[in-house]
Amino acid sequence: MTLARTADLLAAAAAERAAVGAFNVLHLETAEALVAAAERSGLPVILQISENCVSFHGSLEPVARASLALAHAAAVPVAVHLDHAESEGLALAAIDLGFTSVMYDGAKLPFAENVEATRRVVAAAHAARVSVEAELGEIGGKDGAHAPGVRTDPGEAAQFVADTGVDSLAVAVGSSHAMTERTASLDLQLIERLAAAVPVPLVLHGSSGVADEIIVAGIRAGLVKVNVSTHLNASFTGAVRAYLAENPAVVDSRKYVAAGRAALSAEAERLLRLFAGQSS
């Protein structure tokens, strides 16, 4: 199976009124777990590498090449996406490495500068047949699209997409990043209005704080890409803690990391099936 284009995965999901799971890679074991989950489910997955992940590893290329190699070898379609890049240079480097989509996050810039910077990334990406995701909460807002209380205006979102040429849009509809409890509520009516107003797939960030049934309702309302990181990280870390508690003398890190990898993979498979509309 060759590396999948993110745009193709989103188009297929939109046609089915379903969503694609987009899960963050922290290290090689995360990527392995996610690809295994996709293969067991027979469903596509998007591997996401964030700017924070790049900072942790010290550079983009090693973790990127590992993720791309897993994607190329997978038995199901796997896309590789750059998540939340505030650096234009990082977005361009990901395009050069062969990522199938990049997210340029200019939310901290004044609106006009955000539009111009996003246009530059879009031009470079489209020349390489790579798609671009952006996010929009309040125009000109300094806290990003997922600060508490921020909501994306449908008219402003449609104008932003028209002005920048982005291929998908992360919208602020009630979720928030890094939540460890699933207590967030989505504005389903706003999602429907955004889906009607914006001619590109809608993306939900901060999904870890949203319960299963609400995510499913959001997909039915028009969400096409659902990002998850914190929730899966909790599965990994919880399994590692349990393994170490049961095996206090272990010194081989592969043993407890394998437990984390297996737990994350099982939960990722469940989420992929949930987002695709498959019964558990």
**Residues 211-226 pLDDT 10s:** 899 999 999 999 999 9
Q: Minimal CA–CA distance to 259: which of 231, 235, 227?
A: 235
Residues whose CB falls within 8 Å of the CB of residue 16, separated by 6 or more in sequence, listed in order: 276, 277
Query: Does some domain include residue 259?
Result: no
Q: What is the pLDDT of residue 71?
A: 98
Cα 180–181–186 angle (5° rounding)? 110
Evaluate whether residue 187 is within a structural domain: yes
Range of the domain at 83: 6-230
81-103 pLDDT, tens digit per residue, is 999 999 999 999 999 999 999 99
Asked, for residue 81, whether it belongs to a domain, the answer is yes
Please report whether residue 245 resides in a domain.
no
Q: Which candidate in 8, 83, 167, 187 is catalytic?
A: 83
CATH number for the domain that contains residue 164? 3.20.20.70
Q: Is 84 helix (H, G, I), strand (E, B) or coil?
A: strand
- pLDDT tens by residue, 46-81: 999 999 999 999 999 999 999 999 999 999 999 999
Q: Tell if the pTM clears 0.85, that is, is over it.
A: yes
Q: Would you call 83 a catalytic residue per the annotation?
A: yes
- What's the mean pLDDT when you consider all of the chain? 91
CA angle 116, 91, 164 (to 5 degrees): 30
Nearby residues of 261 by Cβ (< 8 Å), 6 or more positions away: 29, 30, 32, 33, 236
Burial 200-233 (b: 16+ CB within 10 A, else e): bbbbbbbbbbbeeebbbebbebbbbbbbbbebbb
Q: How many domains does the chain have?
A: 1
Mean pLDDT confidence for 117-139? 89
Burial label for 109, CB within 10 Å (0-12, 13-18, 19+), is middle
Q: What is the pLDDT, as a whole number, of residue 210?
A: 85
